[in-house]
Structure 1
Amino acid sequence: MNDRPSEIVKFDNVGLRYGTDPEVLSDLSFTLYPGSFYFLTGASGAGKTSLLKLLYLAQRPSRGAIRMFGKDMITLPRERLPDFRRRLGVVFQNFRLVQHLSAFDNVALPLRLAGTSETKVIKAVSDMLEWVGLSHRAQAIPATMSGGEQQRVAIARAVIARPQMLIADEPTGNVDPDMALKLLRLFEALNNRVGTTVVVATHDVHLLKKVPDSLIMRLNKGRLSDPTGALKFPPRPENKQKGGL
C-alpha cells in the first residue's frame, strides 16, 4: 500500500517578518504535491530565500499554518524537527560544506548518518561524483575547490539519499551552462524516477522551459502568483516513470 501523503507541503495564509520589520512574505497559501517539479522565481528581494527557509524548516512563520508530510509544523516540538529534516535534501547558495572533509566524505555524510553500509556508500558516492564530473576531485577539500566544484559537491550531497523533497536555492549559479543543464537533468531524474518533489529557486528564466512538466511559482514583493496553476492542481501521475537513477 502507498502510505505517502497526498500532499507534501500545505501553507495556509502564511506570513513572515523578521523582528518588527514589515512582512517579507504575506498571505501565502499553496500546496506542493508528491512527484511535482516546481520552479520558484521572482526578482531579487522578492522573498525566495525566505520562503525556502520555511520549506526546509530553518524558520518558523510569524503567522499562518504549515503542514509537511501530514504533520502540523507550527506545533511540532523542536526536538522532532531533525526527523523531518532528514526527509529533505537542501542545496544552499553558500554550499555549507564541511570544510575539513573531502568531497567524497561530504557527499557520503547523509548516507553514513542514516547507517548505510560502507560498501553501499562507496558505490553510491563514487557513481554520484562521476555523474557531476568530480571523480578526479573525490579527495579534495572544499578550500582547494572552485565555486562551481563546491556547488556540484553540495548538489551531490543533497540528492545522494533520494530525499522525499529537494529544495535548491539557485543551484546552477556557479556552473557553466552545460553543467547547469546536466545538474537540472539530475533533479529531473530524481523527480521522474524516484518521485521526489523538487523545488528549484532561480532567477534564470532560461531554465524554466527546460523541464517539460514543471510548474512555476512566481514571488512578487512577498506574494505568490501562479502562472501555470502550480498552486491549484496536483501532478499527473501517469507522466512519472519508474526505476533507478
Structure 2
Amino acid sequence: MRRPSIGLQGARTAVASGIVQFEYVGLRYGMGAEILRDLNFSLREGGFYFLTGPSGAGKTSLLKLLYLAQSPSRGAIRLFGENVSSLRRADLPALRRKIGVVFQDFRLAGHLSAFDNVALPLRIAGVSESEIASSVGEMLDWAGLADRASARPATLSGGEQQRVAIARAVIGRPKLLVADEPTGNVDPDMAARLLGLFEALNRIGTTVVIATHDIQLIARMPAAEIMRLDKGRLADPTGMFRHPPKRPGL
C-alpha cells in the first residue's frame, strides 16, 4: 500500500519530553468510591504504551481523562504543557484537536460514507475541500480502504470499520493517539495489521496509548512500555513501565 504524504514514512522524532503528566490524580463518579486513585506518571513524547489490567481496573476511565472526556475529581493533569484544570472551556476544543481517539465501538456516523467519516475532523477544522479530497484519499489508501471510500459503516466488516476509525483518528496528525481495545473485534491477522498502522504513526513522533487485554498484541511490540492498572491504581509504581516478554521462539 502507498503511504500518505503526511509523513508516515519518516523517521521517528527523538524527543524525550513529557507530553502527559498525572499528579496524584483521583476519579470518582458522583458520590461513589474512587475509580482511580493516586495516579502519578509521565508519558514521554513519541512513546508507545500499552495500558493493561483486569476488567474493572479503570482502563477506560483513565483513557477518558487522557482525551478530556472526563475531569479528575482531584489531582492535576498536564497535557502538552497545559494544566487542564486551569483552562477555560473555550480552550478545550483546540487541545482536543491534538488528540486522536479510537473507540472500542468505532463510533462511526452511520449516515456517512467511509470517506466522509474520515474527512469529518478536517471539515470541523475548516480545511478546504480540495485538500480534504487529497488527504483523505491518501489516508484511505494507507489503511487499505481505497476501494471502500463510498461504503457506509453498515456495509463494512468489523476490521474495515476499525480501520476507518483509526484513519479518522489520525487524519489530523495528532500528537497523542489513544485507543480503547482497538483489536477486540478482529482476528489475529487483522490485529497485526492494525498494530502496523499505529506503529507507522508512532514512527513520526506521535505518542500512542493502547488499552488492551491482548497479550499477543503486546508481545508484537517488545520495545513498547506497559502500564498496569489494578483496582484503580498503577501496579508497582516504582517500575510501572516494563517491557513485555518476547514471544516464545523469538
Deviates more, 1:181-190 or 1:138-147: 138-147
**Alignment length (residue pairs):** 229
Query: Is the partner of 1:74 in helix, strand or coil?
Result: helix
Instruction: In structure 2, list runs of 5 or more residues that go unmatched.
Output: 1-12, 243-250
What's the TM-score, normalizing by structure 1? 0.87
Equivalent position to 2:26, from 8, 12, 15:
15
Tell me which residue corresponds to 1:208: 218
Determine the C-alpha separation between the residues in 1 that align with 2:136 and 2:107.
Answer: 18
Quick check: 1:122 aligned with 2:127?
no
Equivalent position to 1:27, from 38, 51, 54:
38
Q: Which amino acid in structure 2 is aligned with residue 97 of structure 1?
A: L
Q: CA offsets per residue over residues 59-87 of structure 1, 9 Å max, x none? A: 00111111111111112112211110000
Determine the C-alpha separation between the residues in 2 that align with 1:44 and 1:88.
Answer: 25
Tell me which residue corresponds to 2:187: 176
Deviates more, 1:212-221 or 1:143-152: 143-152
Q: CA RMSD in A?
A: 2.1
Q: CA offsets per residue over residues 135-168 of structure 1, 9 Å max, x none? A: 2221111233233322111111111222000000
CA drift of 1:114 comes to: 2.9
Q: Which amino acid in structure 2 is aligned with residue 153 of structure 1?
A: V
Equivalent position to 1:154, from 160, 165, 173:
165
Equivalent position to 2:147, from 114, 130, 136:
136
Query: Is the partner of 1:167 in helix, strand or coil?
Result: strand
Q: CA offsets per residue over residues 101-127 of structure 1, 9 Å max, x none? A: 110011112223333343332232222
Instruction: In structure 1, list runs of 5 or more residues that go unmatched.
Output: 233-245
What's the TM-score, normalizing by structure 2? 0.85
Alpha-carbon spacing, 1:43–1:111, altered in 2? closer, same or farther (3 Å): same
State the identity as a percent. Answer: 67
Tell me which residue corresponds to 2:235: 225
Quick check: 1:145 aligned with 2:137?
no
CA drift of 1:197 comes to: 0.4
Q: Which amino acid in structure 2 is aligned with residue 53 of structure 1?
A: K
8 A Cα contact 1:107 1:153, kept in partner: yes
Determine the C-alpha separation between the residues in 1 that align with 2:71 and 2:213.
Answer: 25
